[in-house]
Chains A and B, each alone.
Chain A
Amino acid sequence: MSASPRQIALVGNPNSGKTTLFNAFTGLRQKVGNYPGVTVEKKVGEARTLHGEKVAILDLPGTYSLSARSEDERVARDVLLGDLSGIPRPDVVICVVDASNLERNLYLVLQVIDLGLPVIIALNMIDVVEENKQRIDPEALSESLGGVTVIPCQANAKIGIAELKQAMAKKSYTPVERVWTTDDDLTQLLSETADVLAAHNTINPRAHALTIIGDRAMRDPSHPNCLDNEILRKITPLVDATLKQHPTPVESRIVAARYDAISRISAASLRGENRPDGLSVSDKLDEVLIHPILGWLVFILVMATMFFSMFTLAETPMDWIENGFAILGDWVGSLLGKGDLRDLLVDGVIAGVGGVLVFLPQILILFLFIGILESSGYMARAAFIMDRLMARVGLNGKSFIPLLSSYACAIPGIMATRTIENEKDRLVTILVAPMMSCTARLPVYGILIKLMVPEADNDIWIQTGLMFALYGLGTLGAFLFAAIFKRTIAKGDASPFMIELPPYRLPGWKLIVQQLLDRAGIFIKRAGTIILALSILIWAASTFPKPADPETPKDIALEQSIMGRTGKMIEPIMKPLGYDWKIGSAVIWSFLAREQFVAAMSVIYSVEDEEDEPALRSKLAAAESPDGISIFSIPVCASLLVFYVFAQQCIATFAVVRRETSSWKWPIFQLGYMTVFAWIAAFVTFMIVSHIV
């Protein structure tokens, strides 16, 4: 038995069901969604074949072809060519084919076969083929592909999984021969290119030769994918000689030759009418959802419903959580005598972590909505509708998907930019993504909105409206800065836009609930780790150094603590925004994680230590400056809200931007421009609102 398990890679067009299969094989729960570009990095899992052998399964980003154009596609190509260090070339490739879309999916299959890798075809979405009243004959398909194993399956219903595991158990796969033919001159060009590569010790010279001749970008010195100069110098004359005889670009001839074979294969294996009569359900939905006028109305309606339900549906569970933590705080407080430990637990830990966890219901509602958008197929439509607007900014509709995901969290949003082909577009999208209001802002927005809008009959509507406005403001900011960056630091041509619009699918509710629970888990874990640690830190900063005289009133002690001193130090910067040193410290302490604002406020305002602890909200509402003016006045709240909309206050985002741009320059630039702009915007807001109120 060999020591390391065999490597089996899942390869296929975007949205063909690779991750669904991966999850079925491994029992993991990687993200699945009904739009192209869900998976953007390789993921390894462990599975067992039907014979119990342990194998390593590799889930890859989807790609239409091995002529990689974007970061995610490059991962898939490099794994298959064995060019990625640390990842061995797969022993077997499972090509996941969307059977309802046979011809285009077969293109990649032919390319993988050409690489000389053993291939198993997972003929997925067989249910959709049947719905279209068609049938694919697996034997005929296998035969016309030169004997490749073909296994029909329906990944989302776990149909065909056992058969695939059985196919994986077989070890002696002989690679099949190329099933398409080229004209003699091309054949010669390919073999000459392979000779050049072999002379340069390239592994798999034949496979690489086909990739290079079949991909213009690899021979274009102005393109980032171009191969190294020395090899290129030898290959270019060969290509030019061929072009002299036959002026059609060589790569186009290769594509056409493959599609010729595909037409034959498809004709041999596909049975039944080519098209079902009339419009499909999906077509009918599109008539409304991407209708020139109705489409926009629906979009706005969906967003409004989302914010409205965040306030109405979440209200009751939020009260429960709030009360739960209040009871917990009282109970812990009554167990412990007055002292540091009690303060730490009650004011630091319970109030800090609890203050964030209270927002779990709202966050789940937001995730539920985003989950429905992602799994229904609407995401790609959003890109379609928004493309024109994005073009104004200088980006393209594809950038809208990462931005939309950033409403949940900027980190997956920034990861999703890997699907953007144009490097500059990608950079700009990364730079502006954190302006989209993420869920970590919800606790801050929640507290401040409640402070601004006094309890009244119709406050739900005002709150919904305010929330809508904040999200809108962040989105506008992102667009504004994208436009500025595209005209200055990342100048470049408009890049082509191209996106597949998959048919709508009913969201799998089990899947949505599962992903919701996973996300809730992440949120709770974050509260229990980062937020907890920072809450303790903040409490310590507000407590130490201790005044010599233990009878010192608490607010004086606070002023003399580390927090008080740093707060006083930065007060001049915060004053123009309307913040006293206490709010200023809370702002500064939330630069590592913005929701820490809530914990900092609760630590700072726990000073008026009465026996019964009112909820943080009422404590803040009652807070007054020495001269009796309410501290959280409307201008101050508005200024704070605007500051939190724009400021980059998330260490995790900083780290991801650092990794994705492989530089320190961009994350630092992002932190700088967002924070400076946040300050200016908050200042202007404070001025304007002060005048109005």
Chain B
Amino acid sequence: MTKLTLLSEIAPHKSCTVLAILSDAPGMQRLQEMGILPGTKISVIRRAPMGDPIELEVRGYKLSIRKREAAEISVQPA
């Protein structure tokens, strides 16, 4: 089996598709409610000045989350 790719590892300007949400913490539930679900396409726009947080584009809007949360999302790079 190949290693999981995490959303936090995707470089800026690259896109990916969500495979699974790896944690069921309440904060992760909110991300799902905001539309980050298995099958959703996500583009990583940029990283903040000191590398964290990151800016994403999901379902046509811009969302910023920390790498820590992004590391709870496994993705399929496009």
Contact = CB atoms under 8 A, between A and B. Distances in A.
A296 B63 contact: no
A292 B47 CA distance: 8
Contacts of B38: 256
A498 B62 contact: no
A107 B21 CA distance: 19
A42 interface: no
Contact of B61 (A67, A101, A389): A101
B34 to A, nearest CB: 5
B69 A498 contact: yes
Interface string B48-68: 111111010011111111101
B24 A500 contact: no
Contacts of B37: 255-256, 259
Interface string B10-35: 00000000000100111101111111
A17 interface: no
Given A384-B53, A387-B66, A249 B24 contact: yes
Interface string A35-75: 00000000000000000000000000000110101000000
A397 B64 CA distance: 10
Nearest to A104: B35
A533 interface: no
Interface of B: 21, 24-27, 29-35, 37-38, 45-46, 48-53, 55, 58-66, 68-69
B48 A100 contact: no
B55 A104 contact: no
Given A387-B53, A391-B52, A499 B64 contact: yes
Interface residues of A, number: 50
A217 interface: yes
B72 to A, nearest CB: 10
B63 A217 contact: no
B69 to A, nearest CB: 5
Given A64-B33, A103-B60, A256-B37, A498 B27 contact: yes
A494 B50 contact: no
A686 B58 CA distance: 54
B53 A100 contact: no
A67 B66 contact: no
Nearest to B31: A498
Given A104-B35, A216-B24, A388-B52, A497 B66 contact: yes
A295 interface: yes
B32 A255 contact: yes
Nearest to B40: A259
A220 to B, nearest CB: 7
Contacts of B50: 292, 388-389
B64 A216 contact: no
Given A220-B26, A251-B29, 17 more contacts: A64-B33, A64-B34, A103-B60, A104-B35, A217-B29, A255-B33, A286-B46, A383-B64, A385-B48, A387-B53, A494-B68, A496-B68, A497-B64, A497-B65, A498-B31, A498-B64, A499-B64
Given A67-B30, A252-B21, A388-B50, A103 B35 contact: yes
A223 interface: yes
Given A101-B61, A388-B48, A252 B35 contact: no
Q: Which 9 A-B pairs have the closest CB atoms?
A: A496-B27, A388-B50, A501-B62, A65-B33, A292-B49, A255-B32, A103-B59, A217-B26, A249-B24
B49 A295 contact: yes
Interface in A486-505: 494-503
A397 B69 contact: no
Contacts of B55: 290, 384, 501
A114 interface: no
A251 to B, nearest CB: 6
A215 interface: yes
A223 to B, nearest CB: 7
B26 A69 contact: yes
Pick the most buried of A215, A275, A384: most chain B CB atoms within 10 A of its CB: A384
A498 B30 contact: yes
Contact of B64 (A217, A256, A259, A384): A384
A632 B10 CA distance: 60
A498 B63 contact: yes
Nearest to B38: A256
B12 to A, nearest CB: 11
B71 to A, nearest CB: 12
B33 to A, nearest CB: 4
Nearest to A287: B46
A296 B35 contact: no
Contacts of B63: 498-501
Nearest to B56: A501
B62 A388 contact: no
Interface in A271-289: 274-275, 286
B62 A252 contact: no
Contacts of A495: 27
A301 to B, nearest CB: 16
A216 B25 CA distance: 8
Interface string A88-114: 000000000000111110010000000
Nearest to A295: B49
A397 B63 CA distance: 13
Interface string A203-219: 00000000000011100
Contacts of A503: 62
Contacts of B32: 252, 255-256
